[in-house]
Amino acid sequence: MRPEPEDLGGGIWSVPVPIPGNPLAYTLVYALETPDGPVLIDAGWHHDDAWAALRDGLASFGLDVAGVRGVVVTHFHPDHAGLAGRVREASGAWIAMHRADAEIVQMFHDAVATDAGRTWEGGALRRAGASAGELADFAEREHVEPPARPDRELADGDLVDLPGRKLRVIWTPGHSPGHICLHLEDGDRIFTGDHVLPRITPHIGLYPYDLPDVDPLGDFLGSLGRVAAMTVGEVLPAHQYRFTGLTERAQAIIGHHEGRLEEITALLSARPGTLWELTAGLSWRHPWESMELGSRRMAAGEAAAHLRTLERRGVARRDGDGDPLRFALR
């Protein structure tokens, strides 16, 4: 069930914004008080129900969405950035995100303008080893519109434009290249977006599956180590609920992924297997046979990210450069 909006004290409010049809159920949008109007951390999914929840949730604290000063987006994913453009239209607020995610948002807009996105994703599935039937199903899928382009780009260590407060950017790549956490230095709190959640682990995927010169899981593990070294009283994530014990939770997530790396290593052998075959051999919340194509696509992205880290560690190797992608034990 979606919780009620909540006054967290210290000039911070939490507004749960629904994500229609998604098991995550809602995004926790946070509003921070400033003399010039509230600044939001994330905005929620672009949907009329989500907009009504955001608008009415702010109003329950006497805040008007038309008075929002700015929106800081922790990362470009639609359940975080989707409504940022609508907030800007209603209030004239600025939108800020890390420059690495700003580049991806621009790339998405360019892909929509040329209708290249569907071709690109279909080609990635083909290279992974998806069947002809799965590729046909993919061609029928509706795609999510890209989020609004930001007005401001952030970098690691920046202070957000938050009059009277100190909200510092911590670049935590992994879940997205430009994911950021935000440390409220004057309030002993950290907003972690999807980087550190209390019970679940965020999706870490490699897209395209053979994108060169990047290691999203390696980046994520390094980012987790960075925040694990911080001393912060309360953690305010974008999903589920607030918690304490940032160090312990970050270390537990690192342990989860190390276990996943061991599981993939156990599937590798001298005989190369396709990315799709290796992904199907892993344990998932739902059996591979019953997964919808969208879930299989994300699962393959996660497997590809783990395989990239295993390549960097000298455990796995890519077998040739042809289609489909194949991997073997080094």
| Tokens matching residue 220 | 């994520």
Whether residue 139 lies inside any domain: the answer is yes
Whether residue 41 lies inside any domain: the answer is yes
Its pTM stands at: 0.94
Q: State the Cα–Cα distance between residues 207 and 137, nearest whole angstrom.
A: 19
Asked if the model's pLDDT at residue 91 lies above 90, the reply is yes
Task: Specify the pLDDT at position 226.
Answer: 97
Task: Specify the pLDDT at position 198.
Answer: 98
Pairing mode of beta strands 6-7, 316-318: unpaired
Task: Specify the pLDDT at position 136.
Answer: 78
Task: Specify the pLDDT at position 142.
Answer: 60
Task: Specify the pLDDT at position 143.
Answer: 63
Task: Specify the pLDDT at position 144.
Answer: 67
- Answer for the pair 62, 31: CB distance below 8 angstroms, yes or no: no
Q: How confident is the model at residue 58 (pLDDT cuts 50, 70, 90)?
A: very high
User: Domains in the chain: how many in total?
Assistant: 1
Task: Specify the pLDDT at position 123.
Answer: 82
Short-list 48, 11, 41, CA closest to 27: 41
Output the domain CATH number for residue 35. 3.60.15.10
Whether residue 243 lies inside any domain: the answer is yes
CA angle 241-245-246, nearest 5°? 85
Whether residue 283 lies inside any domain: the answer is no
- Answer for the pair 291, 299: CB distance below 8 angstroms, yes or no: yes
- Answer for the pair 54, 44: CB distance below 8 angstroms, yes or no: yes
- For 162-190, how does the pLDDT look when each residue is reduced to its tens digit (9 = 90+)? 999 999 999 999 999 999 999 999 999 99
Whether residue 167 lies inside any domain: the answer is yes
Q: How confident is the model at residue 111 (pLDDT cuts 50, 70, 90)?
A: confident
Task: Specify the pLDDT at position 254.
Answer: 98
Q: State the Cα–Cα distance between residues 101 and 78, nearest whole angstrom.
A: 12
Q: State the Cα–Cα distance between residues 129 and 124, nearest whole angstrom.
A: 9
- For 125-174, how does the pLDDT look when each residue is reduced to its tens digit (9 = 90+)? 888 898 888 887 776 666 668 999 999 999 999 999 999 999 999 999 99
Whether residue 296 lies inside any domain: the answer is no
Task: Specify the pLDDT at position 1.
Answer: 79
Task: Specify the pLDDT at position 117.
Answer: 55
Whether residue 279 lies inside any domain: the answer is no
Least-confidence region, from 49-58, 114-123, 132-141:
114-123
Whether residue 230 lies inside any domain: the answer is yes
Asked if the model's pLDDT at residue 65 lies above 80, the reply is yes
SS3 letters across the chain? CCCCCEECCCCEEEEEEECCCCCCCEEEEEEECCCCCCEEECCCCCCHHHHHHHHHHHHCCCCCHHHCCEEECCCCCHHHHCCHHHHHHHHCCEEEEEHHHHHHHHHHHHHHHHCHHHHHHHHHHHHHCCCHHHHHHHHCCCCCCCCCCCCEEECCCCECCCCCCCEEEEECCCCCCCCEEEEECCCCEEEEECCCCCCCCCCCCCCCCCCCCCCHHHHHHHHHHHHHCCCCCEEEECCCCCECCHHHHHHHHHHHHHHHHHHHHHHCCCCCEEHHHHHHCCCCCCCHHHCCHHHHHHHHHHHHHHHHHHHHCCCEEECCCCCCCEEEEC
- For 189-236, how does the pLDDT look when each residue is reduced to its tens digit (9 = 90+)? 999 999 999 999 999 999 999 999 999 999 999 999 999 999 999 999
Q: State the Cα–Cα distance between residues 179 and 75, nearest whole angstrom.
A: 5
- Containing domain of residue 105, as a range? 6-259
Task: Specify the pLDDT at position 229.
Answer: 97
Task: Specify the pLDDT at position 269.
Answer: 97
Share of the chain above pLDDT 90, in %: 86
Q: How confident is the model at residue 113 (pLDDT cuts 50, 70, 90)?
A: confident
